[in-house]
Structure 1
């Protein structure tokens, strides 16, 4: 059963035999695991065994731990980490067999990275999911992050003015751990006083974290302020320019294919499946196709090619030119910037 982290507390009394915590957000993973362990302790689970699937891992050891009697007559937790979320044939068979041997004195917690559909459709996962709880720990974005932020502000009892809330959102979107630590600090510094953006600005520096995929989504949606902020953050974090150029090339090439097909009278509905564009991303591409012309997309691809040549032939990482390219996702920018030559 899939349960999101904010709903997990409702699934802890009584506990299910198994909890699957998978995702790449460290704060959500650790918080979810801590919630489960705290509830387990209240229900008599006092011992913990930690196992990690590494090279040469013996799956028989997990089977033995599941069947073993506790030395101290208390209930036990087994924490199993799957670094690649791929238990293999032997591991898959072992995991499927465990819950076929019910043991009310054992609780299994499995954690690992974000799962792909290949893994959630596997026999071992479906077997455990049918008797347990799956907690996807994926970093919330946009409105979901705002809801998470508001819930944590309420949790810490903070009195933040609207401008301070907006600043927290801008500073920490994509970094739940840093955001939570920031609010803990605010609770210590100003436990009762209303806090505005001015006071907040004195406490914190910009610690938001973004990926190249979030950057391209912002560009497709023409959210220029957000995109430029993300680009500055990625630069500051040392993100390699070839990765950013690869991502921009990928999106621009796809836009060119879609726009060219449209010009020949092909409907978008037939193009979505051909190019494997998910429902969630369709509005982003539709918006970009509506506002950008074919010559504008071709010009952007040419600009990206020049940036790549400068990088490969001269070793020049021109972040100003990369910012220039990102601005061109707004058709209004073409009027003022498209004539500028890159050297």
Structure 2
């Protein structure tokens, strides 16, 4: 059963036979494991066995641990890390076999990276999911991140002014671990005193972390303030400009195809299917297509081509030009900036 990390506390008493903790956010992974361990300890699980599916791993070791009597207590936790989230044929068979006869004295925790549909549709995963809890630990974004941050502010009983909250949203989006550490520090420094943005700025540096995909999503949704902040962070972190140009070209070429085919009478839903656009991303493209004209998209592609040409032929990394290109995703800015050419 899929359960999000903020709902985990409702599914710990009684414990389920297994917990599947997969994702790419270190803070969510660790806090989820800690919650399960603490609940297990309260219910008599005193011993922990840790296994990692490394090269040469013997799945018989898992079976032996499952069947072995504990030396120190009547109940034990077996934590198994799957670095690639692919147990293989032997592992799949072992996991399904063990969970077909779950033991009330053994709790299984599986951990690994973010799962693709290939893994969640596999037989071993579906078997374990039906008997336990699946926790997708992916970093929350946008409004989800704001809700997470508000919950942690309440957890630490911090008295933050609205401008300080807004600053934390900007500073730490995409980096839950740094955000949580920042709030622990604030609890020590100012446990009850109201904190405004001015005071907060003395404590912290900008710790947000972004990907090129988050940048393109912000541009498609015309969140220019967020997009410009992300671009500055990606620049500061040393992100290679060819990667950013690749991502922008990809989105602009897709927008051009969708806009052109839409102008020829093709229904947008059929185009989404043709271009294999996920349901989650359809609203992003829909709002961008409503906002931007075909001529504007063509102009942005030409501008991006010039940026790429300057980079490849002259070695010129034009971050100002890249920022300009991002601004052109806003048609209002486009009307004022489109006449500007690269030297």
TM-score (normalizing by structure 1): 0.97
Secondary structure of the equivalent of 1:200?
helix
Q: How does 1:152-301 map to 2 (within 5 A)?
A: 152-301=152-301
The whole-number CA distance in structure 1 between the counterparts of 2:188 and 2:67 is 47
Deviations 1:200-224 (A, max 9, x none): 1111111111111111111011111
Secondary structure of the equivalent of 1:160?
coil
Once the two structures are TM-superposed, the CA of residue 90 in structure 1 deviates from its matched residue by 1.0
Q: How does 1:44-55 map to 2 (within 5 A)?
A: 44-55=44-55
Q: How does 1:71-220 map to 2 (within 5 A)?
A: 71-220=71-220
The whole-number CA distance in structure 1 between the counterparts of 2:334 and 2:192 is 50
Deviations 1:25-51 (A, max 9, x none): 110000000000011111111111111
Question: Residues 171 and 207 of structure 2 are in contact (CA less than 8 Å); yes or no, is this contact kept in structure 1?
Answer: yes
The whole-number CA distance in structure 2 between the counterparts of 1:91 and 1:239 is 38
Question: Residues 159 and 194 of structure 2 are in contact (CA less than 8 Å); yes or no, is this contact kept in structure 1?
Answer: yes
The whole-number CA distance in structure 2 between the counterparts of 1:272 and 1:151 is 36
Match of 2:5 in 1: 5
Say whether residues 1:36 and 2:28 are aligned partners. no
Deviations 1:283-323 (A, max 9, x none): 22122112211121111111111222222222222111111
Once the two structures are TM-superposed, the CA of residue 157 in structure 1 deviates from its matched residue by 0.6
Deviations 1:75-102 (A, max 9, x none): 2111111111111111111111111232
Secondary structure of the equivalent of 2:100?
coil
Secondary structure of the equivalent of 1:99?
helix
The whole-number CA distance in structure 1 between the counterparts of 2:282 and 2:2 is 25
The whole-number CA distance in structure 2 between the counterparts of 1:89 and 1:167 is 49
The whole-number CA distance in structure 2 between the counterparts of 1:246 and 1:97 is 46
The whole-number CA distance in structure 2 between the counterparts of 1:146 and 1:19 is 26
The whole-number CA distance in structure 2 between the counterparts of 1:313 and 1:95 is 55
| Gap runs ≥5 in structure 2 | none
| Gap runs ≥5 in structure 1 | none
The whole-number CA distance in structure 2 between the counterparts of 1:22 and 1:289 is 34
Match of 2:332 in 1: 332
TM-score (normalizing by structure 2): 0.97
The whole-number CA distance in structure 2 between the counterparts of 1:4 and 1:267 is 35
The whole-number CA distance in structure 2 between the counterparts of 1:242 and 1:91 is 40
Deviations 1:112-157 (A, max 9, x none): 1111111111100011111111111111111111111111111101
Deviating beyond 6 angstroms after TM superposition, the runs of 4 or more aligned structure 1 residues are none
